[in-house]
Structure formats: structure tokens, C-alpha cells
Structure 1
Amino acid sequence: MEERDMNMTDEHMAQELRKSKGSKLGGKILSLLGVVIAVVGIILGGNLVMIVIGGVVLSLGQMVQGKSKDKAGRQTFDAIAPDIVGAALENVQMNPAPHLLDAEDTNIPLPGHTHCSGSGYIRGTYRGLTTELCTVRLTEVSEFQREETGLWEKNEQVVYTGQWMLCELGQEFQTWLTIWPRDKMDKLFNARTIKTGNEMFDKRFNLSSGDAQAVLCILNPGCIEQILALADASFGKFAVNLNPDGRLYLAVHSGRGFFDIGKGREMPDQLRRRFACELRWFTDLIDVFRGV
């Protein structure tokens, strides 16, 4: 009976995902039409009416795309997320308040932004440890003046979307540490970073800490090898921040949130596997730091 109910749920979700893709296509067509109308208005000597109509049609197309994805995403979350989270965590709370996880209360380097917001908060206990996960989104707001109308408008651009997790390890450490990916500029200018002696790790990550010697006791060779193995299985560039009081922050710059349907191309069984795999990746990284 339970298997039959799941099949019915999957069938319904698959239908909604297909509808979402259809609505998304319609929204894209509307958006493209809006751009064409606005461009024609500009070509015709700055025809303000056509430019405004084009802007309205463009906004309508974007709204249609967003609403269809949001609806499919909410239904998928309600049908799948509780079981996935319940298999990994105990004492699960959806949308707990107040939140424990604050992305700006860490040493994890973030791109420049105007606003930082979190969503989809879920709290539970992982092997007896208080754990909270959420989606972090950073946006940059800028103002510009349209040449055609002379009006000032605001442009809000998403500069970062990632999956974050906080775990309270329940133990104290001698120092803090932050691990984040090395980029081309770091390598070019040979940015200052603590060397672990593991060539592969030192090429892939920056490491900073309040105590260079103490941090190497935390990041022992076995710990480093486990981090490298998880790096190979990662679904985005990730960073780690460990505090002396045992708060462990994990952040993956994946471009999506937890239980995000993405482009809606995956069917329910595929989404279940991906969601479970992503959550397990985070708990595996928690295990690396447990008891080190």
C-alpha cells in the first residue's frame, strides 16, 4: 500500500514537473517577445510606448517562469524532503525560529554583496549533534539610468547561491580554521596560506587559522585525505569554517538550494537520489571533524 501511495505521489510530481517545463517555455517566449518589442521601440527613435510595453511583457514572462518553478518546487519539497531529512536527522524541525545559522557570522570568504538572505531552514540532530541547514543567497543591488527614459532604476543581481550547514560538534578546539578553494588569482600571486605538507590539498585549498601549529593537529593526514575524497565528490566549490567552541560551518557554492528541482528535468526518483546524496555529502564532512 505504501509503495502504491509513493507511485501515485511520484506520478503526480512528474506531471507537475512536466507542467513546470511547459510554463517555463511559455515564459521564455514571452520574455523574448518583450525584448524584441523593446528593441524595435529603440530602433524606431526611442518609441517610449513600445519600450514600456516590451518591459511589461518581459517582466510578465519572467514572472510566469518563476511562478511555475516555485509551484513545482514547493510540491516536490513537501513530497520528498521530509523523508530524506528524516532518514539523516532526528528531531527534525521545519522553519525553526530563531535561526542558528548566520552566513555572515563566519570567516568563510564571500563575494561582494548588498544583501544576504537565508531560506528553507531545517534543524535536527545528527548523531546527537544539533544541526541546521539552509539555502544562502547573496544579491548585489546597483542603480542605473536608462538612456531612453532618463529614469533611474535598480538592478538586483544574484551573485551567490549555495547550500549551507551548521553543526555544533559539542567539543572545543585549540584554534579556529577556515578552508576555502584556491582560485587563479591566489595561485598567480602566491597568496599567503598555511601549508599542510599535502601537495594536492595545498594546490586546491587555502587554509587560514589563528594558530598555524595547532591547526595541523586538527587537520591530520587522515583528515586531509577524507576532505580530498569529498572534494572529488562535491557538487560545487565548498568552504569550511571551524570555531574553537565547536561550531562547524559547511558551505557549497552549488548555484542552488537544498531540495532544489533545478531545471526540472529530473524525475521524482532521480530527485530523491540527488537530494539524499547531497545531504549525505554534508554529513560525511561533519564526520571528518567529529572527534579530531
Structure 2
Amino acid sequence: MTEQKTNRTEEQLEQELRKSKGGKLSGKILSMLGVVIAVAGIILGGNLVLVVIGGVILGLGQMVQGKSKEQSDRQAFDAIAPDIVGTVFENVQMNPDPPLLDANDTNIPLPNHTCCSGSGYIRGTYRGLNTELCTVRLTEVSEFQREETGMWEKNEQVVYTGQWMLSELNREFPTWLTIWPRDKMDKLFRSKTIETGNEDFDKRFNLSSDDEEVALRILSPDRMERILALAGSSIGKFAVNLKPDGRLYIAVHSGHGFFDVGKGRENPAQLRERFARELRWFTDMIEVFCGE
């Protein structure tokens, strides 16, 4: 009976994914049409009517694409997420209220943003540890004035989408530490970071803490090697923040959320495999900081 129910659910998901592809294609066509009409209006001496019509059609096309993806993401979440999470966590709660995870409660460096929002919260117990995951999105809102109409409009741009996890390790640490990826600007301006003595780690990550000596004791050579190993299979640049009270935040700037269908090219079986792999990566990182 359970297998029949799973098969029906996956058939429904397959249908939803096909529908989503059709919706995305329709949205792309509308968007392209809108751009063509708007450009034609500009070429024809700034024809305001054509520019406005083109803008409306472009917005409609983008809305259709977004709606199609939102529906397929929701179907994938409902059909697959409970099973995948249930194999790893106990006492699973979908959309717990209030959530434990707060992206603003960390020392993890994030891009400039106006708004921080979380979605898809799931809470459970991983090997006795309270753990919660969600998708974090950061948006930057700016105002601009259209030359064609002289009207001021708001532009909202997503500057960050990532998968986050919080795990309460049920132990205390003598200090906090934050690990985040190095980039070209860090190297250029020689940003202040704690040197660990592990050349590969120092090339790849920054390390900060209010107690360098204690932080280096926490971040033992074995832990650094395990983090480097996980870096090789990461789905994006990641950061870790460990707090003295034992809260461990893991943030991956993957460009998508947990249980996200992405471009819709995977079938349900492939989605299951990817979702399980991504979740396993996070629990492997929790294991790095468990124990001594």
C-alpha cells in the first residue's frame, strides 16, 4: 500500500514537472515578446505606448515563469521532502512555528541586503540533536526613475539564495568561531584572518574568533581535514558559525533552496537522490563538530 501511494505521488510529481516546463516556456516566450515590443518602442522615437505594453508583457512572462517554478517546488517538497527527512531525522516537524534558525543571529558574512527571509523550515532530531533547516533568501531593494515615464519604481533583486541548517550540539565551547570562504578581494587586501598553519585550509577559508588560541584548539587538524574533504563535494561556497552555547550554523550559498527542482530537468528518482545527497552533506558537517 505504501509503495502504491509513493508511485501515485511520484506520477503526480512527474506530471507537475512536465506542466512546469510548459509554463516556463510560455513565460520565456512572453518575456521575449515583451522585450521586443519595448525595444521597438524605443527605436521608434520613444513610443511610450509600445514601451509600456512591452514592460507589461515582460512582467507577465516573468510572473508566469515564477509561478510555474513555485508550483513544481511545492509539489516536490510535499511529495519527497517528508520521506527524505524522515530517514535522517526523528520527531520531524514541517513548518514549525516559531522557527529556531535566524540568519541574522550569526557572524556569517553576507552580501548587503534590505530584506532577509526564510522558507521551507523543517525541524527534527539528528542523533539526539535539535536540528532545523530552511532556505534563506536575501534581497536588495532599490528605487529608480524610468526615463520614459519619469515615474519612480522599486527594483527588488535577489542577491543570495542558500541552504541553511542549525544544529544544537548539546555542549558548550570556550569561544565562538566563524569559517567562511576566501575570495580574490580577501587576498588582494590581505583581510585579517586567523592563520591555522594548514596551507590548503588557509588558502580556501577565512577564520575569525575572539580568542585565536582557543579557536585553533577547537579547529583541530583532524577537523580541518574533514572540512576540506567536504569542501570537495559541496554544492556551493559554504560558511560555518559555532557559538559558545553549542549552536552550529551551516550556510551554503548554493543558489537554490532545499528540495528545489532547479531547472526541472530531473525526474522524481533523480530528485530524490540529489535531495538525499544534499541533506547528507549537511549532517556530515554536523559530525565534524560533534565530540572532541
TM-score greater than 0.5 by the shorter chain: yes
Deviation digits for residues 191-243 of structure 1 (CA, Å, limit 9, x no counterpart): 21111111100100000011111011111111111101101010000000000
Residue 36 of structure 1 aligns to a residue in which SS? helix
Residue 241 of structure 1 is matched in structure 2 by 241
TM-score by length of 1: 0.98
Q: Please give the alpha-carbon distance, in whole angstroms, between the structure 2 residues aligned to 1:115 and 1:254.
A: 19
User: Residue deviations 1:35-70, cap 9 Å, x none?
Assistant: 111111111222121111111111111111111111
The yes-or-no answer on 1:166 pairing with 2:166 is yes
**Whole-angstrom CA distance in 1 between matches of 2:182 and 2:287:** 24
| Structure 2 alignment gaps of length 5 or more | none
Query: Residue 81 of structure 1 aligns with which residue?
Result: 81
Residue matched to 1:3: 3
Matches within 5 A, 1:86-235: 86-235=86-235
Cα offsets for 1:255-280 (capped at 9, x unmatched): 00000000111000000000001011
Task: Provide the aligned length of Structure 1 versus Structure 2.
Answer: 292
Paired residue type of 2:169: L
Moved >6 Å (runs of 4+): none
- Identical-residue share of aligned pairs (%): 77
With 108-117 and 191-200 compared, the bigger mean Cα shift is at: 191-200
* CA displacement at 1:7 relative to structure 2: 2.8
CA distance in 2, matches of 1:67, 1:182: 36
Structure 2 length normalisation: TM-score?
0.98
Spell out, residue by residue over 1:90-126, the C-alpha distance to the aligned partner (whole angstroms, 9 max, x if none): 1111111111111011000000011111111111111
Report the 3-state secondary structure (helix = DSSP H, G, I; strand = E; otherwise coil) of the residue aligned with 1:260.
coil
Deviations 1:139-188 (A, max 9, x none): 00111111111111111100000000011111000110000000011112
State the match for 2:287 in structure 1. 287
Q: 1:62 matched to which residue of 2?
A: 62
- Aligned to 1:88, the other structure's residue is in SS state coil
Please provide the CA RMSD for this pair.
1.0
**In 1, Cα distance between the equivalents of 2:156 and 2:68?**
21
Q: For the residues of structure 2 that align with 1:75 and 1:108, how far apart are their CA atoms?
A: 31
Which letter maps to 1:211?
D
Q: Give how far 1:6 is off.
A: 2.5
1:41 is aligned to 41
Deviation at 1:11, TM superposition (A): 2.4
Q: Distance in 2 between matches of 1:69 and 1:158?
A: 16
Deviation at 1:3, TM superposition (A): 3.0
Counterpart residue number, 1:260: 260
Rounded to whole Å, the distance in 2 between the matches of 1:55 and 1:168 is 48
